[in-house]
Amino acid sequence: MTKPLSQQTIQRLAFVRFLHAQGVAQSAQPEPMSAAAILSFQDAVEHFLLISADHLEVNLPSSMQFLQYWEKLQPKLPTGQVLPSKQALGRVNKLRVDLKHHGNVPSSHSIAQSKADVTTFFMDATQMIFNVDFETVDMADLVAHPEVARLLHEARTHFLADRVVFAMAGLALAFQELLEHYMSRRKGWGESPYTFGDRLPIFRPERGERESPVARQLKALTTTTRQMKHAMTMIALGIDYARYMHFSVLTPNGISWGHDGSIKFSVNDMSKSVTAHDYQQARLFVIESALQAARADATLERLAAHFPEDIDYDVEEWTWVGPRDSPN
């Protein structure tokens, strides 16, 4: 009987899938940057094997060779089954050693073959050891913010139902919620450090008023400032702005909330032509952005602890003096 999966195991498998997806994305980059995929693939496989050992309750020595995992895990596998892809992943491991320790960049053919071999391994081994399909392991389980994770799950539900446009809209909502989470974190010190000034409404001239040169100038300044604030928030959170621009092209825009709670978004020909690959890359971007932005949580918590909301501070003005003049 298959041992049920703990929440920790599910999250660790989600991290394996994240590393694998990262490797797949890296493999599509031009040479020599695509070589980084080999490192991600190897990390994903080794992490998977360690999770497998924990799940199967196999005690591993403190030091062992990569291919020894197949020998150590074998006694705990279902009768008659063998952990797959030993020879193929041995080749991936050799490419990793050659790259990391000898500086030999693998060929594009070797990278493509490694991607296929590692993917096949995960498809077969995940089902064998954990009794789940690798593709059902959801990377959204790595996202700490509940609302962002919920929207990612809902987007995936749409994608599995072949509603790709709605899936992409869900990703756009998840990313917007991620930014809003950090921009709206008000504590004792006042506005969130990620808002960069007061929020600016969209500038609209009075109804029936002819747009004057001053009005056009204000409209242009408001639009530019809003865009700069948006970009500065992402850069401050460590989000890759160049990848965001690609993400914004693929996902629907013009998102608005109605008084009845409904959400509307604009769909153009580009939105309708997105592919499953576009969805996977966009989803990976949101998850990576959430993981990257999570570093800001520690900063916000330190600020909250340093400036509690319910304390009034007495402020004194001191005069700076040099070390020679400092009081005893």
Q: Does residue 32 sit in the same domain as residue 131?
A: yes
Let me know if 234 is exposed, middle or buried by CB neighbors in 10 A (0-12, 13-18, 19+): buried
Residue pLDDT, tens place only, 223-255: 888 889 989 999 999 999 999 999 998 998 888
Which residue pairs, CB below 8 angstroms and at least 24 apart, start in 121-125? 121/45, 121/84, 121/85, 121/88, 121/89, 122/16, 122/17, 122/20, 122/44, 122/48, 124/84, 124/85, 125/48, 125/52, 125/83, 125/84, 125/85
Q: Does residue 43 sit in the same domain as residue 97?
A: yes
Higher pLDDT, 179 or 306: 179
Q: Does residue 270 sit in the same domain as residue 146?
A: yes
| pLDDT above 90 coverage of the chain, percent | 57
Alpha-carbon torsion, ordered 281, 285, 291, 295, to 10 deg: 160
Q: Does residue 73 sit in the same domain as residue 117?
A: yes
Which stretch of 44-53, 105-114, 282-291 has the lowest confidence by average pLDDT? 282-291
The distance from CA 188 to its chain's CA centroid, rounded to whole angstroms, is 29
Dist. CA 156–CA 251, nearest whole Å:
14
Is residue 268 over pLDDT 90? no
Report pLDDT for 311: 65
Higher pLDDT, 200 or 316: 316
Report pLDDT for 253: 83
Q: Does residue 280 sit in the same domain as residue 245?
A: yes
Residue pLDDT, tens place only, 100-158: 999 999 999 999 999 999 999 999 999 999 999 998 888 888 898 999 999 999 999 99
In one-letter notation, the amino acid at residue 18 is F
Q: Does residue 104 sit in the same domain as residue 159?
A: no
Is residue 301 over pLDDT 90? no
Q: Does residue 258 sit in the same domain as residue 180?
A: yes
Is residue 2 over pLDDT 70? no
Structure tokens, 113: 């073959």
Q: How many other CB atoms are found less than 10 A from the CB of residue 53?
A: 17
Dist. CA 56–CA 74, nearest whole Å:
10
Contact in structure between 296 and 178 (CB atoms under 8 Å): no
Which stretch of 217-221, 229-233, 250-254, 305-309 has the lowest confidence by average pLDDT? 305-309
Report pLDDT for 1: 45
- The average pLDDT across 42-59 equals 95
Q: Does residue 148 sit in the same domain as residue 269?
A: yes
Residue pLDDT, tens place only, 68-107: 999 999 999 988 899 999 999 999 999 999 999 999 999 9
- The average pLDDT across 203-228 equals 79
Please give the model's pTM, rounded to 2 decimal places: 0.75
Q: Does residue 164 sit in the same domain as residue 59?
A: no
Dist. CA 24–CA 286, nearest whole Å:
16
The whole domain housing 201 covers 195-232
Higher pLDDT, 121 or 300: 121
Assign 21 to helix, strand or coil. helix
CA distances from 237 to 18, 191, 240, 252 (A): 20, 16, 9, 23
- The average pLDDT across 22-38 equals 94
Is residue 163 over pLDDT 90? yes
Number of structural domains in the chain:
3
Q: Compute the mean pLDDT over every residue in the chain, rounded to the nearest whole number.
A: 88
